[in-house]
Structure 1
Amino acid sequence: MASFNRVILVGNLTRDPELRYIPSGSAVSEIGLAVNDRVKKGDQWVDETTFVDITLWGRTAEVANEYLSKGSSVLIEGRLKLDSWEKDGQKRSKLRVIADKMQMLGGREGGGGGGAARGGNNRVASGARSSSAPSDDYGSYDDGGSSNSGGGGFPDDEIPF
């Protein structure tokens, strides 16, 4: 049986990224994302917010820590992962997103439009940097293995819009 595990979310950070390094030296960052949806209840439209925990790895985690803060608008592409553990004799589980790609959205307004520190607002990060940093503010990061472009950018057919 075939399966497909892909998630694309656009929302705002609920807290500043929490960057840490694991013993192997890889960067990992945890972020919370609030994703809004409008639903009609009776004759009124109501906003419903879903809160999603997201894990970023490698250079993507470092870029998020450097340029994003609470309230920043961001697009995340990744996969779902179910974490399970036992605490105080009770089994617990949590569904989270493991991000493969991140794109900062928004502008320079003081409301946390990611990338404002360098003037860019559409930077894409994916995994560890495979070449030197891009010279422009619209560069991309690529881990060399998560996309089929092989170069450092992303082919047009992988952009979700």
Structure 2
Amino acid sequence: MTLQASGIIRILGDIELKNVGDTTVAKFYGGINEGKDKNGNWINNAIDVEVWGRSGEIIKEKMGQGDSFYGIGKVVMNEWESDGGKRRKHIFKCSRFEFLPRISDTSTSEVPF
């Protein structure tokens, strides 16, 4: 199953760069803020993110933990077997992105990640 998706993603950890065959992939954990619920509490989610090819290399070179970007791509479900059981997780495979300005003073920001 795939789902087209776009939105602002904040890098939550280190960016890992791997070679897969003759191409490169950047992998990291990305935070997605969905605004506030009716009680005023932040709704937060996170997802594994992959950026392939030269785009992944650029993400690794220019960005780091805490930086945000606007990403366009698709959400796919990865399935595998481990310890005799089926496992699955969703991954955002980013095909295009746009840098966003860095937040210089995070102490005044209400966004939790």
1:6 match: secondary structure: strand
What amino acid is aligned across from residue 9 of structure 2 in structure 1?
G
TM-score for the superposition, normalised by structure 2: 0.83
Structure 2 unaligned runs (5+)?
107-113
Deviation at residue 109 of structure 1 after TM alignment: 3.0
Offset at 1:35? Answer: 1.1
Residue pairs, 1:12-31, within 5 angstroms: 12-22=10-20, 24-31=21-28
TM-score after normalising by structure 1: 0.60
Cα RMSD between the aligned structures? 1.8
Unaligned runs of 5+ in 1: 112-161
Q: Is the 8 A contact 1:16 1:68 kept in 2?
A: no
Aligned to 1:121: none
Q: Which residue of 2 aligns with 1:76?
A: 71
Structure of larger gyration radius: 1
Shift of 1:110: 7.5
Displacement of 1:108 after TM fit? 7.3
Q: Alignment partner of 1:106: what SS?
A: coil
- Between Structure 1 and Structure 2, how many residues are aligned? 104
Which structure carries more relative contact order (alpha carbon 8 Å, separation 6+)?
Answer: 2
- Superposed displacement of residue 12, structure 1: 1.1
Higher strand proportion: 2
Post-superposition, which runs of at least 4 consecutive aligned residues in structure 1 deviate over 2 A?
107-111
Structural mapping, 1:22-41, within 5 Å: 22=20, 24-37=21-34, 38-41=36-39
Deviations 1:62-121 (A, max 9, x none): 00000110000111110111110010001000111111101110147387xxxxxxxxxx
Distance in 1 separating the partners of 2:94 and 2:16: 15
Q: Conserved in 2, the CA contact under 8 Å of 1:74 and 1:103?
A: yes
1:36/1:17 Cα in 2 relative to 1: closer, same or farther (>3 Å)? same
For residues 66 and 85 of structure 2, what CA distance do their matches in structure 1 show? 34
Instruction: Rate the CA distance shift 1:83–1:62 in 2: closer, same or farther, 3 A.
Output: same
Q: Aligned residues: percent identity? A: 22
